[in-house]
């Protein structure tokens, strides 16, 4: 059975991914930070294992991964956002964005890699954003972290391909998740109007893309945009 670890799995895209991979018969463990009730409910619903962990805590991440069976598919979905002018973002807020969105991936990947390298196989899927591709006004820090995720993913794909490990990245557009709850109805409609497919994405849309990449043995180093055509 395929062992899957998903970070940020208690809600939104992460929860949709937990459900999708559980339906495929995978043995799924997911990490979550604070949403205990949602994590417990999802675990009960799907038969997955929920473990509370801040991915910015490298020691905690390593301890969890070392206690697990070897990971076949690692999905780095955990992320935080920040909206505001760059000059108004505190140093703490900037560091926290990078600690979760970028260094969190470093923590999970470096902990999971020994097992993947020993088996000469594995899949790493990182969740970025369309703003990591093109940048967003008033989300410069968030865009910077997501751009870093894309560059990291491409570099890792080259570095790990000789060892039979594939690395790809998914870039969601406007998805109906809590992260976008700050948008006003007007802001949301502007984004929908600028999306050729004319709708907001569903978490399941991204989960299906992750499932596709996990199964596709001859795809690595690619950026799959799940954005309804917003960024082409």
Kindly write down the DSSP assignment for every residue of 25-45, as one continuous string: T-EEEEEESS-HHHHHHHHHH
Domain boundaries, the chain: 3-226
Other CB atoms closer than 10 Å to residue 53's CB: what's the count?
A: 21
* Topology classification of domain 3-226: Rossmann fold (3.40.50)
Q: State the pLDDT at residue 186.
A: 84
**Which pLDDT score is estimated for 179?**
73
pLDDT given at position 180: 79
Q: How many helices (H) and strands (E) does the chain have?
A: 9, 7
As a whole number of angstroms, the distance between CA 166 and CA 74 comes to 10
pLDDT tens digits in sequence order for the chain, 232 residues long: 799 999 999 999 999 999 999 999 999 999 999 999 999 999 999 999 999 999 999 999 999 999 999 999 999 999 999 999 999 999 999 999 999 999 999 999 999 999 999 999 999 999 999 999 999 999 999 999 999 999 999 999 999 999 999 999 999 999 988 777 777 888 889 889 999 999 999 999 999 999 999 999 999 999 999 999 999 9
| Measured distance CA(157)–CA(162) in Å, rounded | 9
Q: Let me know if 142 is a catalytic residue.
A: yes
Pick the catalytic residue: 106, 142, 212, 230? 142
């Amino acid at each position: 059975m395929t062992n899957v670890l998903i970070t940020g799995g208690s809600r939104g895209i992460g929860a949709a991914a937990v459900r999708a991979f559980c339906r495929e018969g995978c043995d799924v463990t997911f990490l979550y930070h604070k949403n205990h009730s949602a994590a417990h409910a999802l675990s009960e619903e799907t038969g997955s294992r929920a473990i509370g962990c801040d991915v910015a805590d490298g020691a905690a991440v390593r301890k969890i991964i070392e206690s697990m069976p070897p990971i076949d598919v690692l999905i780095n979905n955990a992320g935080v956002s920040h909206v505001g002018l760059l000059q108004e973002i505190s140093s703490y807020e900037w560091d926290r964005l990078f600690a979760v969105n970028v260094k969190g991936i470093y923590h999970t990947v470096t902990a999971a890699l020994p097992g993947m390298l020993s088996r000469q196989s594995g899949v790493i899927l990182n969740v970025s954003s369309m703003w990591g591709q093109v940048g967003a006004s008033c989300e410069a820090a968030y865009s910077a972290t997501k751009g870093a995720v894309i560059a990291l993913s491409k570099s890792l794909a080259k570095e790990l391909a000789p060892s039979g490990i594939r690395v790809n990245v998914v870039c969601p557009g406007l998805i109906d998740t809590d992260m976008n709850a700050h948008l006003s109805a007007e802001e949301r409609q502007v984004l929908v109007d600028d999306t050729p497919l004319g709708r907001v994405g569903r978490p399941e849309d991204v989960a299906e893309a992750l499932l596709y990449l996990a199964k596709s043995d001859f795809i690595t180093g690619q950026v799959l945009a799940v954005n309804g055509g917003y960024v082409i």
